[in-house]
Structure formats: structure tokens, C-alpha cells
Amino acid sequence: MGTRKLYHLLKPDLEMLGIKMGRDALFDLLSIEGMLVRKRRRQHITTNSHHWYRKYPNLIQGFIPSGPNQLWVSDITYLKTHSGFRYLFLLTDAYSKKILGYHLAIDLDSTHAVACLQRALKSLGQPVAGLIHHSDRGIQYCSKEYVNLLQDYQIQVSMTENSNPRDNAIAERINGILKDEYLHLEVSKNIIFTNSQLEKTINKYNNKRPHLSCNMLTPEQAHLRSGTLKKRWKTYYKKQVNLNV
């Protein structure tokens, strides 16, 4: 978890205990102890858009959801484990940042994307009018089985139109949060990392991690809201330790 979110969670306890510590002091303390989260460069390619399946247009340019279950975003990332690479399929609500679907697999077969989607659909229950599903143009999301399942629930299909990660920025961001703040440690201390362990990590993220883009609500809290959520982003001066936290 980034330092600003950690400070937000710790502040009430610090005040109750009479401990005077500001955000910058917490930055310094974590830096001294080597506990700041370091970003990791993306190195493994998970998208294969060179296929003959139909590719759908981008429906979300300029679209800002005003509530949950208006826009879902999907992506695939990789984890380097003790037993080799594993692939994490994720589906996230763009409004609340709640992870609704997830699946850990040993390969990139489209059946794993379908399993992830099925988990999200189970949480949805009945079809919701106007819901859009956005992803890259990878073969997993263009496969007939995946698209047919979306259409069975009357979900509109939207896809990126090029390879720019910004076209699926929310999904990419959630990938980074999970890997950098949660999964790197969990995977490194477990010889075998399973879907049951992943479920615990997802629950921790959904229920414990506040988001600056959701007025410092957790994804679970934000998913119960509607209307514009205040953005708590600020421009901070870079400190001597040049880390993005």
C-alpha cells in the first residue's frame, strides 16, 4: 500500500495515542526502514492481438462512470513464482475500483478469461442495462465464448484501438497495485501460490485499501455509492528518495 493511503488509515490511531506524525515524517520513516513500495517494470507480454476474431470499437472515449456496474475493465498480467510464470486474469469495476472477477492460471488460454468473467457475472446476478465491458484486443477477449457470454448478459463490448496502455489505464493501474503492494510479497513467501490464496489477497484489497480516486474509500465502500466521487489527488514535491508511492 502506498504511503498516503497508509497514513490515511493510521492517522486516527496516531491521534488517539497522542503521536504527532505527519505524512512526510511517515515517508521518511518508511524510507529509512526500506519499506517504501517500488514500482516494477512490465516485462512479459500477455496480449496477442494478431488473430482473426472480430475486434470491437472503443466505446468509452470520454466516458466517466457515475456509479458501479456501468463500466467493467479487464486485463491480464503475469506473476513470477517459484514454479515459473503464472497469469492473473482480472476484471474490475471502473467506478469503485472493486475487483469483481479474478483467476490465476498456468497459461493464457481463453478459458481462463471466461472463468474470470463468470465470477464477476455471479456477483452481478441479473443483467444491468447499459453496462460496458472494456478490454484490449487480445485473443482471450475476442474469443467467441467470451463475447457470447457478455452478450448473453446484454453487456456492450468495447476494446482498445491500439496498443497504448492508456486506453485501458484503470485495468493496468489495478494490475500494478496488486503486484507491487500485495502479490510480490505473497508470491515470494509461498512456494505454491494458489487461487485460494489469491482470493484472500483480493478480499484484502477490496476491503482494506483506500483509493485517492474514490475519496479515500475502499473499493467495497465505493461500490455501494453512486454519483461523483471526490478525487484526492495532489501534487507532492519529490523527496530525496525518488519513488512513486
Q: At what angle are helices 3-16 and 23-32 packed, to 10 degrees?
A: 110
Of residues 43 and 84, more confidence is placed in 84
The rounded mean pLDDT for the chain is 83
What's the rounded mean pLDDT across residues 147-172?
Answer: 90
Q: What is the mean pLDDT of residues 76-101?
A: 93
Cell digits of residue 51: 488473430
**pLDDT greater at residue 118 or residue 179:** 118
Give the pLDDT of residue 143: 96
Q: Could you report the per-residue pLDDT of 38-75, keeping only the tens digit for each?
A: 555 555 555 555 567 999 999 999 999 999 999 999 99
- In the chain the domains, ranked by start, together with CATH numbers, are 3-32 (no CATH), 71-222 (3.30.420.10)
Cα gap 84→166, rounded to integer Å: 28
DSSP of the chain:
--HHHHHHHHHHHHHHTT----HHHHHHHHHHTT-SPPP-----------SSS-------TT---SSTTSEEEEEEEEEEETTEEEEEEEEEETTT--EEEEEEESS--HHHHHHHHHHHHHHH-S--TT-EEEE---HHHHSHHHHHHHHHTTPEEEE-SSS-GGGGHHHHHHHHHIIIIIIHHHHHH-SS--HHHHHHHHHHHHHH--BGGGTTB-HHHHTT--SPPPP--------SS----
Amino acid 161: pLDDT = 87
Question: Which residues touch 53 (CB under 8 Å, ≥6 apart)?
Answer: 139, 142, 143, 144, 147
Length of the chain: 245
Tens of pLDDT, residues 215-225: 999 999 999 99
* Whole-number Å distance between alpha carbons of 87 and 78: 4
Which phi and psi angles does 90 have, rounded to 5°?
-130, 145
Q: How far is CA 73 from CA 2, 27, 66, 143, 159, in A?
A: 23, 32, 15, 16, 10
Is the whole-model pTM more than 0.75?
A: yes
How far apart CA 68 and CA 113 sit, in angstroms, is 21
Grid coordinates representing 127?
443483467
